[in-house]
Structure 1
């Protein structure tokens, strides 16, 4: 059985908790923070402008070689202004559990993403993790970091995103 990997990304955003929550909890904004190389397209109608428990969102993405992949996620938990969790129901991972945490701090918000994921194909998934999957996830979160800085402004002092894999 392949191991469960984890990713932790932390970004400080110079905006109010309400502004940051409003943006990130609106599924329509996912397109704005997803790199173009993924060719993300939402394929179902998304109701409302704030994530809610039980909400299902379907997409197509093209993560490798331009091959379209179906991805279905469900919002499992929502604590307004604090956190929400999305889980993959069907898609490219054997497991995808993504926690989005928001905390008011002096000067803005600290946003923390915790992702636990497992790759398919047992040992073959493990072989492609280092050279392919991990760098793609780094690209995705780096792109998002830059877009968030464009949308909300950079944190004073130019804080770089903290990104850890384990």
Structure 2
């Protein structure tokens, strides 16, 4: 049986909680903070403008050799301006659970992402994580961190 892996990132950004929530809870903004080389495209026709529990969002991504993969996530929980959770319903992982937390702090917002994921194919998935997936996810979150700084600025210490 393959393992469940997790990633946690925390970023402080100098914007209001309302601005952070409006940007990050809009599915249409996800492409802006995703590396171009992943070929990320939202393909759902009825995913809506505002996030809500039960919302289905469909994408294609091209994580390896430009080969398109279909990915469907469901927004399973939303607590306005506090957190939302997306879970894969169909796609490359056997488990994908992504928590997005937001908290107002002095001078801005603290944003925390926690992802739990599991790959299919038992030990082969574990090997795939060690060789490719773990590094690719780290690169995606590193890219997002830098892109968020470009879009909203750097929090003064």
TM class by shorter chain equals over 0.9
SS of 1:18's partner is: helix
Aligned to 1:29: 29
Alignment of 1:94-133 (within 5 A): 94-133=94-133
1:77 aligns to 2:74 (yes or no): no
Gaps of 5+ in 1: 158-166
Runs of 4+, deviation exceeding 3 Å: none
Aligned to 1:145: 145
Aligned to 1:162: none
Q: Quote how far apart the aligned CAs of 1:45 are.
A: 1.8
- C-alpha separation in 1, matches of 2:116 and 2:42: 23
- C-alpha separation in 2, matches of 1:36 and 1:147: 12
User: How many residues are aligned here?
Assistant: 157
Say what the alpha-carbon RMSD is for the aligned residues: 1.0
CA contact (8 A) 2:100 2:114 kept: yes
> TM-score under structure 2 normalisation?
0.97
- C-alpha separation in 2, matches of 1:142 and 1:79: 26
CA contact (8 A) 2:41 2:59 kept: yes
